[in-house]
Structure 1
């Protein structure tokens, strides 16, 4: 369990993967409207030209959600949910499920006491990188489907659904295209995973040492919020680059996307969608960790009988 510094996994590896995947999928289903809003804000570019003045279509988290719902219908907010769930089954299950075993590998199975923070960060960086290398195609399809709604009225949609998106991308762009944006995606997800899991681990460990706190829902809630905040602060720039590369194939490389974004939109563009990103990751982490803590207890009891 991502619980405290000296705990060992209390359920089987299969049980850990299953509970991690389920918790990640549940959190994804609850918060994907905020993720859709975040992607739209990140893909929104400033108009070029000294005499061009335009009003951004999307403004703020709730404004973006309202605009999408009004113009495209409520269902548009859940565009990309199928590949999103595919992603969480693979990515969520692997990055969360492997965290404790990898952490134990780095400190040694005979380690006693709190795990040092650098070891927690290293373990989370490792599982985040490995997991997204496997799950990158699901992330690409999710972003492509979320970006579809910004096409002008009358312009035909490229994809009719997630399975069609996978096959169309392979046919038109080649199988390697499914790993478009892998570089920034590995950077983003390794960093965010480290910020989420290591900070949740550390914050929870710290809270449990305070008088009056115990391993309960309040502690999980506070730890989840802390994990979400650290993840957004650290991961926002690479998240923007990743979304733009996946949503727009005109960028030649990660560096090209970074430089063009900096030149055309300025440094603050790397924190576009910060509020919906925090709303998304903060609530995602709270829901995921609360669900994970409870489901692990249930599975632990089932496996012990």
Structure 2
């Protein structure tokens, strides 16, 4: 009887809700630390869109040209703390997105797709698990991503003399629903889910695969060094796979909409993709790649190191 009592907490700590909460905590820490790079990335991705010439203080606005210039421009023109504008919906988004994708992937890995007899998780199974987990998590988190994108652009709109679209996270949700109904909350969800599937493929699959490779083929132990090296690789692959879809997603979500909730600049993902390439060239799909990668590397490292340590402190096995 005493042995059963001792074993119960371990089973409870390893439950799906517990893992979801631990994932959400680690994701929130990573999001707060690296959010300024996400804001910079979004501003870079919106640059170059067709529209009237913009003026700030009566003078023609000079478009930001790179990562550093964009970040410095935001601080000078809007203030230091504007680098965290939109962080609240971003944290909400990652609580849903990261929580669902990590739990889904781990469940698929351990119970559905299962490891081989030698304990290895084949790459093709990791790919399926990573993409399914990312797509499912992003579908449910898409409304918060939409709000985050719009809030990130508010500082720039004010400088351009345009009226603010939203005044906070609650107002943003209410405004979107009033203009486009519940479906309006999922505007741009297709490129959003596509991007998330690719990013999760790069992040989850790469992290898990590299980590297991290092543990089996090197003298590294299951420690912070191993987790750090795996997370750096994960961030690079995730940024490479996800940036084009991220550019399209940002533009679709940021566009002005009519009373029926229909976009005024782009009618679909394909329309946005073709117009972007035609007007700005193929490499425009990699606008914001440097801050995306610069952010994903520390984000992945912060998240995975925090996540692994929280799991360990909670008595849950390493991911």
TM-score by length of structure 2 reads: 0.86
Q: CA RMSD in A?
A: 2.2
Which residue of structure 2 lines up, in the alignment, with residue 5 of structure 1?
none
Aligned to 2:15: 12
> What is the TM-score when the length of structure 1 is the normalising length?
0.90
Q: Which residue of structure 2 aligns with residue 4 of structure 1?
A: none
Q: Give 5+ residue unaligned stretches, structure 2.
A: 1-11, 52-59, 256-262
Residues 239 and 56 of structure 1: is their aligned pair in 2 closer, same or farther, counting only changes over 3 Å? farther
Match of 2:106 among 100, 115, 131: 100
**Relative to structure 2, which stretch is displaced further, 148-157 or 178-187?**
148-157
After superposition, the Cα gap between the structure-2 partners of 1:47 and 1:166, relative to the gap in structure 1 and judged at 3 Å, is closer
Q: Greater CA radius of gyration, 1 or 2? A: 2
Q: CA deviation at 1:59?
A: 2.7
Report 1 or 2 for greater relative contact order, CA contacts < 8 Å, sequence distance ≥ 6.
1
Q: How many residues align?
A: 290
3-state SS in 2 of match to 1:28: helix
Q: Is the contact made by 2:192 and 2:245 (CA closer than 8 Å) also made in structure 1?
A: yes
* Paired residues of 2:13 and 2:314 also in contact (CA < 8 A): no
Name the residue aligned to 2:46. Answer: 43
Q: Distance in 2 between matches of 1:45 and 1:154?
A: 18
- Structure 1 match to 2:90: 84
Asked if 2 retains the 8 angstrom alpha-carbon contact of 1:208 and 1:215, the reply is yes
Give a deviation string over 1:164-190, Cα, whole Å, max 9, x none: 100011112222111011110110001
**Residue 197 and residue 109 in structure 1: after superposition, are their counterparts in 2 closer, same or farther (change >3 A)?**
closer
Q: Flag structure 1 segments of 5+ consecutive residues without an equivalent.
A: 1-8, 49-53
User: SS of the residue aligned with 1:98?
Assistant: helix
* Counterpart among 280, 287, 301 of residue 302 in structure 2: 287
Structure 1 stretches (4+) deviating beyond 4 angstroms? Answer: 109-112
Please say if residues 115 and 122 of structure 2, whose CA atoms lie closer than 8 Å, have aligned partners that are also in contact.
no
1:136 aligns with 2:142: yes
- Contact kept in structure 1, 2:115 and 2:121, CA below 8 Å: no
Say yes or no: does 1:166 pair with 2:173: yes
